[in-house]
Structure 1
């Protein structure tokens, strides 16, 4: 394998994507003293880091936007990392160059691709999605618009983690006003999750009178005042009417990645050390790496420090280690102040499960400063003697 020069001119590590894999890799690299002369650049088209597992708490009011989606410039204020809020329009692997919409061409010594998969575009422009902070804000605006409806019919397409968590939060927020229909094309909800977690989710769904339809496909959606959905279940067609439709099902790869070698197959082929095949100076993390691992934040969270060590070894002619994922368990929110944690054969549900989940995620916020700010704010709100 050819090695790059040991002392390149103006060395730069360019990281595409500021999600879990990208941002946490940058933070891990910034801690390596041997790379202190290297420029670390994170590029993302949004100006905020979005801690996606906690977006549901914004809908329920359990957390605030600054806790879940802090600005990158605030997070990285004391870090040796440059952040560019820009759109990535091209990647030239041969020239080792990234094309940005506003800044133009940007060369790199090493490249980390951590853009993640994109949510599948809903089949109708008025159907909501739920992946980003902007989606939360759009849903909140719709809920405010419909707040005077005596009964609110909501159809959620997809009963993976996002659909289940969102359905339970909305059910608790709306109370008796809701009629929530969770539609899933597969034979069971939460595919890929353990039986104890699925059982806890089923119990939460039943308790909240959320209607669950499995083996059901959405064939067409029309919007004229209300939404008209045409559904197919076991060969039979039927229609239903909803005030809101939220699409949480499916992901797809961006055209930018499809243009790369092997990208047309949906993910990029990587070595066990997370290097892009044929381009060892390029590392691929998270959802875009063609590995048998699930597309979860937990995988990206573990890949980030491993990538930092491998890149350091690569720069200084050391040996690289293959990435080995360790599954630590599953956590879901199942309503306001309700959750489930399943780890190492132990399942904890209810308020305690929710508390453990929240504390674990607060601890996993990108920087210690952000974790402490959020924890202090939560304690201030929870402890009676801290209230005026």
Structure 2
């Protein structure tokens, strides 16, 4: 009897275990089927839904965060991509002259900027070797000093070859330094062709446009109004020498002073502005002035003299700006203030000043020679400021020499 009960219990237990196993198996199969069905559904249907989550901060300000879901990685929002430091947005230089507008759309774009660089490469690298070697530099240089200066300013890796990359760097350097206004002054005072100064300004010629005007002995200069073949050749030569860094900017004046020379017959103040050159070699000077509160400098003198007599109203506290030029470029600006001179006028007895004979009518004049007494006035003036922060004039390599043409 006990044996029969054991057999019956074992059969019942086996049936129960089999039934439980079957249920678990079907449950597992059903779960797998549901997962497969869901995966198939997601693969078959592209989901491109955007939701907006708007959590609130403590000060009750709403911050919106875009959440993007997509079945394809190509549709991922660009804002979710990690920034690549190597692919930072490059700000192209602004080329103003429409001489570089090759597609005539009224704008000089990135493709046209590359065309300018390509023209520069092929203009200077005549054998298309990928850079200017010594032989190519010598064909454009007047002396060995020219070659040394070009290598010093442009050859960054010191391999005696100016690569296209180094030419591109020079293009950007000259372009940023030689603005439209700077080029106009450079044409007038360095190249000494002042009749074309406003022509260059009107056509927005900057250092970025130089390669277009250097080619074919300055042929495109005729498009902007330089009709003289001799002047085109001269300008093209200066542009090329400037681009290759073959020269040296002059130093600022050693000292300068502003003194009162007397009064004119019209009771105006006669000011003498004088300076001592930094170099014995011939220089050219540009003197400008403006009143306090004015933003524009007005030219009053240019030439080789080192003195200038100006006639101003007694209540006009003029400030002067002196610049030294050579055939390569200019020095930093020197600001000459006349505060001490005006103080002398204010403190002097009017009858004493009035008794002095008038030296000039009512217009300024330069004096080419100086008396010994005026030479003694040339001492360091604490009122003189040198503008060394002039960014467009900064060129650490311009310390070699100067051509006198």
TM-score by length of 2: 0.20
> Whose Rg is larger?
2
Greater fraction strand: 1
Query: Which structure is richer in relative contact order (CA contacts within 8 A, separation 6 or more)?
Result: 1
Greater fraction helix: 2
TM-score by length of 1: 0.21
